[in-house]
Amino acid sequence: MPTLTIDGKPVTVPEGTTVIQAAEKLGIFVPRYCYHPGLSVAGNCRICLVEVAKSPKLQIACNTPAAEGMVVLTRGAKVEEGRQAVLEFLLINHPLDCPVCDQSGECDLQNFYMTYGLYDPRFKEQKVKKAKAVAIGPKVMLDAERCILCSRCVRFTDEVTKTGEFGIFNRGDRSQIGLYPGKTLDNPYSGNVVDICPVGALTDRDFRFKARVWYLSTAPSVCGGCSRGCNVDLHYVLDRPHLAQGARVMRLKPRFNPDVNRWWMCDEGRYGYKFMDQKRLTRVTHRGSESTWEEALTALAGWLARAREEGRLDQVGVIPSARLTTEELFLIRKLFQEALGLKNCLLDLPPKDGTSDGFLIQADKNPNTMGAALLDLSPSPQPSPIKGEGGGAGDGLSILQKALDGQLKALWIFGHDLVGLLGEEKTAQLAKQLELLVYQGSNENPTARHAHWVLPGAVYVEKDGTFVNCQGRVQRVGKAFKPLPGARPEAEFLVELAKRLEIQVQGRTPEELFAWLAREVPAFAGLTYEKLGWQGMAVNLSSSSRKRGSPIESGMTNP
């Protein structure tokens, strides 16, 4: 545990720690291009030069191990002169593309030049020309002229994805990044090379020319693409509808969480955001005619109240979705299962429609399967009565079978596609024989064509709440912006419905509902939004009321 001094501040670090890591422990930022904490050390960009006492030359902080008694200066005339020289060298062949470069506004080359450069250029020769705007894969564009050969992309594909697409070819000022012959950058994590590129050499084809980064607002959230729940930053625009034809969400970027996804995320999650602004439901409808939320509340509360008085609640089925927040699932449990005593209220877990790669990607594409299991809303697996042997979660689909057999008079569906499960003909038959068929969800769905009532819900970034990922970690979703006009968060509507039915609800906001949940479900005991922060916390799985075969008992992998 050597103790060294950096800029006059002592710090003790584990053996093997580098100077750049020791400086970060003190909150001192040392500029870097090639260094990345998730990759091996290359030491080739030289911008992280620091002055070490008794050393005749400046040293690179990324590859200089901390030693006992070492005295380091990260600032000063000598250090800044060295960094200025490095920048002058890096910019010799760099094109003046800033006005048309997607990286402009978040480019480390721009930022460090403004801090350490500001020199009078001495380079009078012709710049070396290289290939520009080359599509090297379905997601990424390469501009070789902008590349400063930091080799981050090479190390990422060698060390993280282990797919080895990138290499550095040629020598001297003709050296350039490229793909090996016959290779295409199409691995499941290809978008990460854009995140780690410190300049505009690798750009995102999906985001390319959509918006300037200074127009973007940022909100922390999690990816809803699978049960991993990678931490992300959501980049969006609200006050410039001309951008991307009125879309609000521009892109997702991974947010560092050492216990979930570290610095990375998969392409499927990264580019799966477009449903938030496309094919959204924004009108309450009753049998195809436009209605209002007030009319829907009155009609649905009235139907349920009459069924309660007549003792017909055993003829009501509710199928929640593992895409709802934990707070919404808890409210469904309290309202339908406990207060109304519905026996047919269980989550339909569809068959796994993907594969797990042992890194981040999970086969379960629902973000909150674990949350449903902890609330006892998910059944134990058994053969599907509709799909046959191996069809997935039996109890949820059994509710549909009961409805088809005429045992149910009402069915409330949250987000599921009955047409995909039953087919068009059976869904139409079901809608015809039921007294009440409610579809509540955020996006257009074939089921909505047959539903008697359609209630437009909010996507997860339009409401606060939590998901529990496959590792049993509770994570805040975070509300980035308001729902589209006409849509409402599911929890908001259910609270109002409970009020109409004279059912006591201990809270209205997501935070209040989570506090209620934490008081009643042992696995969440002691947790609050404040404690969760934006990194999340693990639930107490040992105290949960687990069912045999529930997702809690499935294998969990770490990134």
pLDDT tens, position by position, 190-218: 999 999 999 999 999 999 998 899 989 99
Enumerate the β-bridge partners of residue 319. Answer: 413
**What is the rounded radius of gyration, in angstroms, for the C-alpha atoms of the chain?**
28
Question: Is 192 a member of any domain?
Answer: no
CATH of the domain at 22: 3.10.20.740
Query: By the 8 A CB rule, do 473 and 557 touch?
Result: no
* 440: in domain: yes
pLDDT given for residue 352 in this prediction: 56
Q: Are 373 and 547 in contact (CB under 8 A)?
A: yes
Nearest of 121, 190, 224, 163 to residue 442 by alpha carbon? 224
- Contact assessment for residue 361 and residue 374, using Cβ atoms and an 8 Å cutoff: no
Give the alpha-carbon dihedral of 315, 349, 321, 527, to 10 degrees. Answer: 110
Among 74, 90, 106, identify where a domain stops.
90
Distance separating alpha carbons of residues 128 and 126, to the nearest angstrom: 6
Mean pLDDT of 369-375: 92
- Nearest alpha carbon to residue 330 among 516, 549, 464: 516
pLDDT category, 462, cuts 50, 70, 90?
A: very high
- Mean pLDDT (the chain, rounded): 89
pLDDT(84) > 50: yes
The answer to whether the beta carbons of residues 439 and 447 sit under 8 Å apart is yes
CB-based contact 548:556 (threshold 8 Å): no
Query: d(Cα 470, Cα 103) in Å, to the nearest integer?
Result: 34
Is residue 54 predicted with pLDDT exceeding 60? yes
Return the CATH number at 350.
Answer: 3.40.50.740
**Looking at the chain, how many residues does it have?**
559
Using one digit for the tens of pLDDT, what is the confidence trace for 217-271?
A: 999 999 999 999 999 999 999 876 656 566 789 999 999 999 999 999 999 999 9
Answer whether residue 181 is part of any domain. no
In the beta sheet, which residues pair with residue 253? 233
Residue 391: per-residue pLDDT: 34
| pLDDT score at 549 | 39
pLDDT single digits (tens) 99-157: 999 999 999 999 999 988 887 888 888 888 899 999 999 999 999 999 999 999 999 99
Question: Counting Cβ atoms within 10 Å, is residue 377 exposed (0-12), middle (13-18) or buried (19+)?
Answer: buried
Distance of CA 240 to the CA centre of its chain: 24
pLDDT at residue 348 tops 70: no
Tokens (6 digits) for 431: 């809608």
Residue 486 lies in a domain: yes
Q: Where are the alpha helices (DSSP H) in 100-158?
A: 108-116, 152-155
Domain containing 68 equals 3-90
Residue 395 has pLDDT above 70, yes or no: no
User: Residue 460: inside a domain, yes or no?
Assistant: yes
Distance (Å, whole) CA 334 – CA 187: 44
Domain boundary among 62, 90, 118: 90
The whole-number pLDDT of residue 346 equals 83
What mean pLDDT is predicted for residues 271-288?
93
Q: Is the model's pLDDT at 558 over the cut of 80?
A: no
Q: Is residue 415 part of a domain?
A: yes
Final residue of a structural domain among 50, 69, 90? 90
> Does residue 368 form part of some domain?
yes
Chain Cα centroid distance, residue 347? 23
Report which of 386, 559, 337 is spatially closest to residue 469, judged by C-alpha positions.
559
Structure tokens at 538: 């693990």
Q: How many domains does the chain have?
A: 2
Residue 215 lies in a domain: no
Q: How far apart are CA 537 and CA 475, in angstroms?
A: 7
* Exposure of 216 in the CB half-sphere (CA atoms within 13 A): 21
Q: Are 130 and 178 in contact (CB under 8 A)?
A: no
Q: How much is the pLDDT for 533?
A: 95
The two most distant CA atoms of the chain are separated, in Å, by 91
